[in-house]
Amino acid sequence: MKNHLKRGVLALAASLGLLFSPSFSQAGNLENIVRSNQDEPGFIPPPPRNAPPPPPSHIASAETYIPYPGPPAAPMARSEKKNPPNPPVLMTRINQDSNLDLETPNAVNGLLKGMKSLMNVNYSAEVKSISELDVNPEKNPILIWSRHYRFDLTERETKILREYLINGGTLVMNPGRGSKPAYDSAVQLAKIIFPEVNVSRLSPDHPLLHAYYDLETVAVSIGNPYKPAAEAPKVQGATLNCRTAIIIPERGLDAGFANENIREIDRVFMPESAQKLGINITAYSTAQRAWQKGVAHALSLTDANNITAGKIGLTQIVYDGEWKTRHKGLSMLLHQFNQKTDIPVKYSLNERTLADSRIFDSPVLYMTGHENFVLKKQEIENLRKYLLNGGTLVAEACCGRAAFDGAFRREMQKVLPEFSFNTVKSSDPLYTLPNKINAVGITKALEAQLGKSLIDPKIEEVIIKNHPAVIYSPYGLQGGWELASNPYGLGYDDPSSIALGENILLSTAIR
């Protein structure tokens, strides 16, 4: 039986054109990789390689003379075909190892061809290894790495990708034909590249799923390619400062991009859905990369004296989920608040879980996020005790995301079932001190949704014994605090965000 399995593995490798390549022939590493991946649940092998297409002809642009017929006939001049200029590079296919990075032939080119047909935009693709990448994403805007086997990176390659992604680049890690070992390892690698960032499934309201097409459902193959099923798009992502930089679809995009035959073992997006998701990825990534250029440089603010620093300070809640959407927004708001009121502030922010008893030492807790989350029993009990004993929770749905908004209201109902949210009245001190706030400006994305550029501020609160225990904004604030609202963010513009933030801080101090 073992010999039969070995022969099958070797036959698979030979059919893929992988066996006896210089990098694998001596140590037998390929056989080990194929065997170890094949033994894992959900492994889907790549289809056999087709013969490569003939190389394109290279024709000079200068005029030449036809050498035949020779003298005494007079030579005839001809103008040869001139190559048009290459379109700009939009996508770079990662090829770490030609033996393992077995993308379905022409997958990326198939997506670009579809974009040209549907959107009348013309881009090109190139192939590079990670070590060849420029960390400036303008040079290689979107990376697509497709693999049926497990993804892996060296320490140096990890650093290159991290710098590239922080600078505004996008990495799509595609599990070839939906191969589970590739998908699982992609999620693991995303956590290695950004250990400080939560990797989670994108919620239905994530802007990537609506950047060009509204993808509430997609067509996927389940066992029979001729009877595709419809399901909500399943995509994992790692989000930095409100921008999803690493994108990992749970099903393969490659066959759909190339519009190739789908096998019964494949777990892929059907061609039309794959094209639409690919176009959404390019639209979202392009807009976010342009925004990243203009993001304000974060201020580095520290207490001059940690002992005598003032009473206004914040503790950010850490929870299982995307709890930290921005890194400098709170510090920048506190700086603006200090300049406005002369009230000393603590710029050094604490980060605590709700299960940590030290939250009771902080007068104000802050909570934000984009996605759905669930609090643990101990966290619910501690937060309830904290709020009933005079503490204040300030929260916002970063970028106005519906997933966080729904989760926050649900979890707060568990914490304070006998209380409800009420809209803050226009006459409330929260809208008068230190800034007189009537109408507020909003982001372009929210303006497009509401059809107007000015609205009444929308802040909600939970009052316990005449004390604002919870102050909540369903629209985003923190992007404005950083003077860099996300182009997809549903929130207040920069001046209004800062004015509201200052008023909220003062409200927590004087009540």
Structure tokens at 446: 């929210």
> 240: which strand partners?
243
Q: So what's the pLDDT on residue 340?
A: 83
Domain end, chosen from 293, 327, 350, is at 293
DSSP letter for 323, please: -
Residue 324: inside a domain? yes
Does residue 181 sit in the same domain as residue 253? yes
Is the overall model pTM greater than 0.75, yes or no? yes
Does residue 363 sit in the same domain as residue 238? no
Does residue 364 sit in the same domain as residue 261? no
Contact 495, 439 (CB under 8 A): no
Got the DSSP string for 369-434? ESS-----HHHHHHHHHHHHTT-EEEEEEGGG-HHHHHHHHHHHHHH-TT---EEPPTTSGGGTSS
Does residue 319 sit in the same domain as residue 288? no
Residue 243: inside a domain? yes
Does residue 133 sit in the same domain as residue 187? yes
Does residue 274 sit in the same domain as residue 337? no
Q: So what's the pLDDT on residue 80?
A: 54
Q: So what's the pLDDT on residue 100?
A: 74
DSSP letter for 146, please: E
Domain end, chosen from 259, 293, 327, is at 293
Does residue 264 sit in the same domain as residue 370? no
Structure tokens at 475: 């629209």
CATH number, position 252: 3.40.50.12140
pLDDT 10s digits, 9-66: 434 443 333 333 333 333 346 556 666 676 788 999 988 776 555 555 444 434 444 3
Cα(491)–Cα(476) distance, rounded to whole angstroms? Answer: 4
Cα torsion for 283, 284, 289, 290, to the nearest 10°?
60
Does residue 286 sit in the same domain as residue 322? no
Please state the domain count of the chain.
Answer: 2
Domain end, chosen from 293, 328, 350, is at 293
Residue 178: inside a domain? yes
Residue 78: inside a domain? no
Q: Which residues of the chain have pLDDT under 70?
A: 1-36, 38, 50-85, 102-103, 105, 224-226, 294-313, 346-348, 510-511
Residue 230: inside a domain? yes
> 473: which strand partners?
396
Cα(260)–Cα(267) distance, rounded to whole angstroms? Answer: 13
What number of other Cβ atoms are within 10 A of residue 437's Cβ?
18
Does residue 163 sit in the same domain as residue 272? yes
User: Burial letters for 385-421: b for 16+ Cβ neighbours within 10 Å, e otherwise?
Assistant: ebbeeebbbbbbbbbbbbbbbebbeebbeebbeebeb
Does residue 274 sit in the same domain as residue 344? no
Domain that holds residue 397: 315-510
Residue 14: inside a domain? no
- Reply yes or no: is the peptide bond before residue 434 cis, omega within 30 of 0: yes
Residue 25: inside a domain? no
**DSSP E strand boundaries for 160-263:** 170-175, 199-201, 218-222, 224-231, 235-240, 243-249
Q: So what's the pLDDT on residue 69?
A: 43
Structure tokens at 450: 């509401």
Does residue 95 sit in the same domain as residue 159? yes
pLDDT 10s digits, 64-77: 443 444 444 444 44
Contact 462, 469 (CB under 8 A): yes
> 394: which strand partners?
366, 471
Percent of the chain having pLDDT more than 70? 79
Does residue 235 sit in the same domain as residue 335? no
Q: So what's the pLDDT on residue 464?
A: 96
Contact 110, 258 (CB under 8 A): yes
What number of other Cβ atoms are within 10 A of residue 182's Cβ?
28
Residue 307: inside a domain? no
- Reply yes or no: is the peptide bond before residue 72 cis, omega within 30 of 0: yes
